[in-house]
Amino acid sequence: VLLSRYGIWLDHGKVKAIVDLKPPTNHDEIQRFMGMFTFLAKFIPNWSEILEAITSLLKKENALVWGPPQEKAFAKVKEILPSEPCSTMYDPQKPTTLSCDAS
């Protein structure tokens, strides 16, 4: 995340590093992955819904099986992060929508 007098926005180099990530293969990698995205949550609309399939793997009662729902969530985040709403600076001249996530 970059911060200047003009606002806060995502560092494109870090976004590229995330987009190039391979899917996590164990519990520690999933926790690391989720830690990165928890930090970036303010830039991802509906992030808790999108990542629910992956966060469910952290529950003790669930087996660590990376399947189509997790792959879909993983791909969705990698698609959303470099998109314009997430990676551009705030422009007060453009329409603004305020949304809140209580998670």
* pLDDT tens digits in sequence order for the chain, 103 residues long: 666 666 666 777 777 877 888 999 899 999 988 887 777 777 777 888 888 999 999 988 888 899 999 999 999 988 887 765 554 566 678 787 777 777 6
Q: Is 7 left (phi over 0), alpha (psi -120 to 50) or beta?
A: left
Residue 103 lies in a domain: no
Q: Which domain holds residue 13?
A: 2-87
Residue 102 lies in a domain: no
Contacts of residue 53, defined as CB under 8 A and 6 or more positions apart, other chains included, come to 69, 70, 72, 73
* CATH number for the domain that contains residue 44: 3.30.70
Confirm whether 94 is domain-assigned.
no
| Number of domains the chain is built from | 1
Is 92 a domain residue? no
Is residue 16 a part of any domain in this protein? yes
Q: Is residue 97 part of a domain?
A: no
Determine contact, residues 9/89, Cβ cutoff 8 Å: yes
The reply to whether 36 falls in a domain is yes
Residue 61 lies in a domain: yes
Q: For the whole model, what pTM was predicted? A: 0.67
Residue type for position 46: N
